[in-house]
Structure 1
């Protein structure tokens, strides 16, 4: 953005200031003015802030941070009043005025600011009705959001959309439209607003309802600072042997891929760095709502490391209220408490581990606009000589477990497939038969296909009759007859496995069989 001063002379002082500004813009790569910057990974500082349940008892003293990692907070949750759907309340129990008197919330926030802390406000949550769900009047809804933003003077808000609200398309559009207006008005007045959308996630990524909610938000014109995924309460979507830290990394990686596709569909291509900066993670510390899920200090260290390595935009936790060891009178640690984590913490805290080395604040990213970024053209051609696995072909058939190379990445088939492009930009993992394993590494060469020694099975002969279960070798590879056959080459099993009378076997599996005495 530039400013013009028609018919106005520049004094020496003004000229000096103008030159300094121009030089600053050039040195910064002409990113623009503070609240109209283009989105890049360098225009915002990553931050940490724990959620604070404002209405929970005992009251959590967020205004007296225990350490630097506790000085930024996400106050939750603003929801619709049970009596008046367009009136904002804290947890449906306190109006903004009542919270000021009964919870002394305004004074406590002022005290936090005196100590160098910063707060953002979260709307929604799993319980009660988010404002846009209950209030269907856009003009009244806008007043409700504005009342909260103005009351607490925040420049960052969090929209926690889950449960039934997540699939409420009308509410999603209404919310985004109204907040987009507020965002635009505040940018014009020099007080930009950062908006984060918090959503549930599984290790496979966002649900259909989650990606739909993001699409509806973007379509309504809201400038989304980022999405914050709740890396918690996975249930059956998490493998038994998967740690909570590994599940979080998997969820974030999948969400990154999904967010790229969602922006691509709006015509905005973004770099990997910018996409990571638009993603946050919020684990539930200690005992999760799912009894078998416990987020440990080791998981916290893993998530913090991944967040810094990937340059995530944000890390939070549910919740600061719970960041303590339960007292001796709390007998069932597998039952979730609002006031303790359910694990022995000693002198350590989750906030210190998760928040280590984060220097930004919730206001980071306020006013930054997301625009198309120039992405260098990549040579996507794959070289068989530098690929560890065969290069994917649209004419070949692939069995479950088969690995291929495509566009410099390794993929593995989840089930039999033919003609399905490995990097097809689908939002949900169940829509593709391929799992992305990772990139082809520098210096890799083809991995030899295991073969069997001559004589392990008879070599296939076109004149021999074979019965179901007979095994043969063809070019050193083992095959097993699925039914009576004569003259049918086993090679066809690789491209047409359904119609071929032969089933390709894995040489390593056959060798393993022979060592245990199994097989034919």
Structure 2
């Protein structure tokens, strides 16, 4: 029998080389396929922008009136443990959720933002007070506390901002992770999945040891983390002399990326680089930081945005939307951090616009729970005094600053003295109308309780008496305080909204506080 290929025998050397080449090509193909799948998985998760809002800061920030397209996605901050009840959520210890709904109109303002296509998430923790898991030591009660916030505001995403004891307390880390994992499982079973972001302090070298422990605790408890949001701010001595805030922030992000890879690998999850970038969020403190000399500029914001887009970072945020403005001329010390301005001249630009350019909003409401977009209608809702939270507007009544009324299914607040001005006048400009739209009347609303001081709380006003600054009187069932020495100047002028009135009218909240204080102060 003749040979088909005479003179060409395959030696062991050639066979080994051939196998090696095939293996190399197969390996390269596997790596390329892995990188493709990694990039594909990462691109399936949209990059998002969401700005933090300090709910209890003064002056109050109207998050229901977005100043830019990027500002319509907000992370409301901070839910913490209440002063008196460890497992009861509160806004900054100042307001229970019910009180915030009544006094700050939080629920109504959320509804108004959602009507406009915005989105809302809630952050637990922060630097100033105790995150719920620090003081609430019963895991079942802790889970119920988190759930009460998620259910009240119909959230699909939450943020856990861990600082101070919230980060260093290892028992709290475990309790929190266990409670959040159980809540996630419960929400998933109800077909309302809950996205969870972990927000942590960082240095240019990456997460601190406490930060990596916090991530590990979540992974150990089988929490499905949406990502780790690093606070690229307040570096202090960890930032190299002469380096910019942008350089420190990008270094921190790069180091965190490597740390997350190791943490997920230790948990048995080995993901690609692109996917890991989607698991990272960046949150700078705009303008003047708490650390003297650290200033995050608009130029830094441009650079951080470009870095985030290039790397495919999953989330960009900022602290805070309250501060996204140039300070006014009456705020002289720009090195002193303000809750209401950035401390730098923004030259008419907004950090939220720069950082959020081209990014989507943070999805927080499920498709089934999100309110429908407002549609054109030929008739207005009927205002029912029995279910309206505030009095129905009347063109005969006199309203002063802070008074709230209901008209055509919406709640409005008076910005100054007004009578006869229709709150929903379609042609009135914002600077001229005396009314501010707060949000819609909500299902389940009922008339707000009127806080009245009992007769005798303070003496009745008398035209014959001389009053000194700080003296308090009763007039028409309400409490007034003298602004200066006066005589024969009736508190009626204050009721009518006169700026030159000698008397200051106490609000419902102030009256309630007086009645709750034994000495009436």
Could you state the TM-score of these two structures normalised by the residue count of structure 1? 0.62
Query: Are the equivalent residues in 2 in contact too, given 1:176–1:217 (CA < 8 A)?
Result: yes
CA deviation after TM superposition for structure 1 residue 346, in Å: 1.9
CA deviation after TM superposition for structure 1 residue 44, in Å: 1.5
* C-alpha distance in structure 1 between counterparts of 2:162 and 2:73, whole Å: 21
CA deviation after TM superposition for structure 1 residue 365, in Å: 12
- Corresponding position of 2:135: 134
1:125 pairs with 2:126: yes
1:220 pairs with 2:245: no
* C-alpha distance in structure 2 between counterparts of 1:164 and 1:289, whole Å: 19
What pairs with 1:126-275 in structure 2 (closer than 5 Å)? 126-275=127-276
What pairs with 1:43-58 in structure 2 (closer than 5 Å)? 43-58=44-59
Query: Are the equivalent residues in 1 in contact too, given 2:120–2:365 (CA < 8 A)?
Result: no
Query: Are the equivalent residues in 1 in contact too, given 2:327–2:345 (CA < 8 A)?
Result: yes
Question: How many residues are matched?
Answer: 330
Q: Which runs of 4+ in 1 moved over 3 A?
A: 362-366
Query: Are the equivalent residues in 1 in contact too, given 2:158–2:197 (CA < 8 A)?
Result: yes
- Corresponding position of 1:346: 347
CA deviation after TM superposition for structure 1 residue 187, in Å: 1.1
- Corresponding position of 1:472: none
Q: Classify 1:364/1:149 alpha carbon distance in 2 versus 1 (closer, same or farther; 3 Å).
A: closer
Q: Classify 1:313/1:365 alpha carbon distance in 2 versus 1 (closer, same or farther; 3 Å).
A: farther
Partner secondary structure for residue 41 of structure 1? helix
Query: Are the equivalent residues in 2 in contact too, given 1:194–1:364 (CA < 8 A)?
Result: no
- Corresponding position of 2:325: 324
Unpaired segments ≥5 residues, structure 2: 1-32, 34-38, 368-521
CA deviation after TM superposition for structure 1 residue 322, in Å: 0.3
Which range is displaced more, 262-271 or 181-190?
181-190
Query: Are the equivalent residues in 2 in contact too, given 1:225–1:365 (CA < 8 A)?
Result: no
Q: Deviations over 1:284-335 (max 9, x none)?
A: 0000000110000010000000000001000000000000000101010011
* C-alpha distance in structure 2 between counterparts of 1:150 and 1:260, whole Å: 33
CA deviation after TM superposition for structure 1 residue 175, in Å: 0.6
- Corresponding position of 1:278: 279
Query: Are the equivalent residues in 1 in contact too, given 2:73–2:361 (CA < 8 A)?
Result: no
CA deviation after TM superposition for structure 1 residue 241, in Å: 1.2
Q: Deviations over 1:338-359 (max 9, x none)?
A: 0000000121000000001102
- Corresponding position of 2:43: 42
Q: Deviations over 1:41-97 (max 9, x none)?
A: 123211101100000011100001112110000000000001000000000010000
Quote the RMSD (CA, aligned, Å): 1.7
Q: Classify 1:135/1:92 alpha carbon distance in 2 versus 1 (closer, same or farther; 3 Å).
A: same
* C-alpha distance in structure 2 between counterparts of 1:179 and 1:217, whole Å: 8
* C-alpha distance in structure 2 between counterparts of 1:39 and 1:158, whole Å: 26
Query: Are the equivalent residues in 2 in contact too, given 1:279–1:312 (CA < 8 A)?
Result: yes
Partner secondary structure for residue 207 of structure 2? coil
- Corresponding position of 1:63: 64
CA deviation after TM superposition for structure 1 residue 168, in Å: 1.1
Query: Are the equivalent residues in 1 in contact too, given 2:155–2:365 (CA < 8 A)?
Result: no
Partner secondary structure for residue 305 of structure 1? helix
* C-alpha distance in structure 1 between counterparts of 2:218 and 2:271, whole Å: 17
Unpaired segments ≥5 residues, structure 1: 1-28, 30-37, 367-520
Query: Are the equivalent residues in 2 in contact too, given 1:49–1:362 (CA < 8 A)?
Result: no
Q: Deviations over 1:444-491 (max 9, x none)?
A: xxxxxxxxxxxxxxxxxxxxxxxxxxxxxxxxxxxxxxxxxxxxxxxx
* C-alpha distance in structure 2 between counterparts of 1:89 and 1:199, whole Å: 21
Q: Classify 1:334/1:253 alpha carbon distance in 2 versus 1 (closer, same or farther; 3 Å).
A: same
Partner secondary structure for residue 41 of structure 2? coil
Could you state the TM-score of these two structures normalised by the residue count of structure 2? 0.62
CA deviation after TM superposition for structure 1 residue 185, in Å: 1.3
- Corresponding position of 2:305: 304
- Corresponding position of 1:333: 334
Partner secondary structure for residue 281 of structure 1? strand
Query: Are the equivalent residues in 1 in contact too, given 2:281–2:315 (CA < 8 A)?
Result: yes
* C-alpha distance in structure 2 between counterparts of 1:202 and 1:39, whole Å: 30
